[in-house]
Copies of this chain bind each other. A is one copy, B any other.
Amino acid sequence: MSEVTLKKLADLLNLSISTVSRALKDHDDISAETKNRVKELATILDYEPNSYAVNLRNNFSREFAVIIPSIANDFYQSFISSLEKEARLNSYSLFILQSGDDPQTELECIKRCKQNRVAGIFVSITQKTTDISHFLKLEDSHIPVIFFDKVPAPDACNKVCVDDISAALLSAETLILKKKKNILAIFGNEQLSITQKRLNAFKDTFTRHNAGACLSIYHADTSATAYQYTMEQLAQPQQPDVIFCMSDEILIGVMRAVQTFGLRPPADIGILAISEGQIPTFYVPQITYIETSGFKLAKLAFSRMLACLAGSTAFLELKTESIIVEGGSI
């Protein structure tokens, strides 16, 4: 069974291709009767316009690309889930491309985006991406690029991210409010700007409040190192009275250690995290966390994308509000 095309419909109906095309689009020029005949046959034969031809002719597409280090991550998962929904409701589709956190692969992805003449790109860059000229080149050819979550340093681009500073600030304030004095705070990879922002805001808040708390700061790249370090700290004679985790990954490692020691929050030790919201619900009591919602971020990113497509040429840096979700672990 060969493809159903406008030509095929036209031949079958003894009409011209243009008439069939217009009939399907409810063009004024076409009589109601003809429209009906055309639409009926189109339905019967299951006609669907060929996107390639349409996009080629119209020189634009209804596809967005999403480039992320890896989809296997709660945050990106909720982000994409939400973004896909928004896209579908606006009759866009989503291309998912994984950079594997490798700049070289990321370049490949950009290439793919160019080839597919996508309408726009959402990208969370790799840890090692410093040169964003390839992305900016796309902007030259009128493909909006929205950086989200892991965003580059330069100003001349559109960024949408969680408000790291307010999240860290809120975290610190929570700890101060709870009168915690002996605080173990575990942050992620020291090189990442996200770590630096959160760490600085965190420390600043303590200095500003002059809280007089003992702050012990540590950096862990992985869940496993967070676990090991926490194990060591809990073995000390003076245990911390609260552990702050900068991310879900760290939370997982910390909680393994806490459980291993048989400690039960909040009585034995307090736990506070910045988290996407899934992981904290696995424990009893649930972990109190500052939410960094992928859902919210996706909505924000999408609306920014639509604005860009509508002609906005400004470069904005948008942030989502952080809120605290009480779980009972502190």
A contacts, CB < 8 Å to B: 1, 3, 46, 48-53, 55-56, 61, 70-72, 77-78, 80-81, 84-85, 88, 93-98, 100, 105, 108, 111-112, 114-117, 137, 140-141, 252, 255-256, 259-260, 262, 264, 279, 281-284
Contact in complex: A95, B93 (CB < 8 Å): yes
Given A3-B141, A77-B77, residue A56 in contact with residue B50 (CB < 8 A): yes
Contact in complex: B72, A78 (CB < 8 Å): yes
In addition to A93-B97, A93-B116, 9 A-B residue pairs with Cβ atoms within 8 Å of each other are A46-B114, A49-B115, A51-B116, A71-B81, A88-B97, A88-B108, A94-B95, A94-B96, A259-B284
Instruction: Give the 6 A-B CB pairs with smallest separation, nearest first.
Output: A259-B284, A52-B56, A48-B114, A52-B55, A72-B81, A52-B52
Q: Which residues of B are found within 8 Å of A283, using beta-carbon distances?
A: 259, 282
Given A71-B77, A81-B70, A137-B46, residue A51 in contact with residue B284 (CB < 8 A): no
Q: Which residues of B are found within 8 Å of A50, using beta-carbon distances?
A: 56, 115, 117
Q: Which residues of B are found within 8 Å of A71, using beta-carbon distances?
A: 71, 77, 80-81, 84
Closest Cβ neighbor of A259 among chain B residues: B284
Pick from B56, B78, B93, B279: contact of A282, CB below 8 A: B279
Q: Which residues of B are found within 8 Å of A256, using beta-carbon distances?
A: 282, 284
Contact in complex: A1, B93 (CB < 8 Å): no
Q: List 15 A-B contacts (CB under 8 A).
A: A3-B141, A50-B56, A51-B116, A52-B53, A52-B55, A53-B56, A70-B81, A71-B84, A80-B96, A85-B98, A88-B108, A94-B96, A95-B95, A259-B284, A260-B284
